[in-house]
A and B are shown apart, each in its own frame.
Chain A
Amino acid sequence: MLIWSTAAPAIGAAFLASVVEVVEAFTIVLAAATLRGWRPAALGTGAALALLASAILLLGPLLNQVPLHALQFAIGVLLLLMGMSWLRKACLRSAGVIPLHDEDAIFAAETAQLDGAARRHDARLDWIAGMTALKGVLLEGLEVVFIVIAVGAGGGLLLPASLGALLACALVLVVGMFVHRPLSRVPENTLKFGVGVMLSAFGVFWTGEGLGLDWPGQDLALLLFVAIFLGAGLAGTAIARGTAMEVAR
């Protein structure tokens, strides 16, 4: 039976992380579609989704062969590396040390790049647009697949985590169809900060479990880890922001 105190963080983490990645993929697909229509963009997207599905079908059964503690440890360490990396980058962006992710600028750059390629290879325009969409969806989709596996596989929560990712895809697709432009108003850095906090908390939890540790309070320990990483992220941002203000003075 599904326990919501365990499933909700998995659904939430997969949903928020997927929103970030799907928005980025959508910008690239939209640039390809703007240049050459939806057919090559849709074909490229479909091919990328097929490749991702093949990877899941190929790797999924292998996960069942790995002993649970080893799986939890490996996933925990990878989640820690990924979550802390996201959190670090979000802190630096939030503090103004590195620039924010700008979907409008990325859309303009992708469109210009495709336009330049189109001028050089008129006959292969559909192919170039399709490959651009394929590459964008494949690269961003890889992160979604990893996050779903990582937050789901260690605790038998693959279905809830997949549900979170699918909801994110559906939401971005529906909103994207209506607005028909890059989703630059999505608070990408805030989402990335939140996801970094959640992935890091999951990372500590699964690494400990993988090492044979029984956390006091079991799943509720996740909430404590979320609070610890949230505090560290806010403190880290304040430290980095201090620098930016110092330089401005």
Chain B
Amino acid sequence: MTLLKEVAAELIGMFFGDARLALALLVLVAVSAALIGLSGLDPLVGGTVLALGCPVLLIANLRREKRAIAPLKRSAA
């Protein structure tokens, strides 16, 4: 049973290591899907939003991490 729990935790951790980033990515995919399938715009618009949105989310997440961790490190120093 412990092994099954650990396998489940490993699987969840593989995809949702950072819940905020994972959620943002899922929203981005949904927006891109809507742009490609429903908007009537050129599908490449949705593709471009997806391709450029992911790196933007990554950098925004790292900036957020920076703001969250810096005060903690300062107080520990």
Q: Real complex partners, A and B?
A: yes
Q: Which residues of A contact B (CB under 8 A)?
A: 77-78, 80-82, 84-85, 87-89, 91-92, 97, 135, 138-139, 142-143, 146, 200, 203-204, 207-208, 211-216, 224-225, 228-229, 231-233, 235-237, 239-240, 242-244, 246-247
B51 & A211 in contact (Cβ 8 Å cutoff)? no
Q: Give B70 Cβ to nearest chain A Cβ, in Å.
A: 5
A216-B44, A243-B73 known; 17 other A-B pairs, CB under 8 Å? A77-B26, A84-B58, A88-B17, A88-B18, A138-B3, A138-B7, A203-B54, A207-B50, A208-B32, A208-B50, A213-B44, A213-B47, A229-B55, A229-B58, A239-B62, A240-B66, A243-B66
Q: Give B3 Cβ to nearest chain A Cβ, in Å.
A: 6
A-B contact count (CB 8 A): 124
A88 & B62 in contact (Cβ 8 Å cutoff)? yes
Interface majority SS (helix, strand, loop, mixed), chain A:
helix
Q: Which residues of B contact A (CB under 8 A)?
A: 3, 6-7, 10-11, 14-18, 21-22, 25-26, 29, 32-33, 36-37, 43-44, 46-47, 50-52, 54-59, 61-63, 65-66, 69-70, 73-74, 77
Q: Give A71 Cβ to nearest chain B Cβ, in Å.
A: 15
Inside 8 A of B18's CB, which chain A residues have their CB?
A: 85, 88
Inside 8 A of B14's CB, which chain A residues have their CB?
A: 81-82, 85, 142-143, 146
Which residue of A is nearest B70, CB measured?
Answer: A243
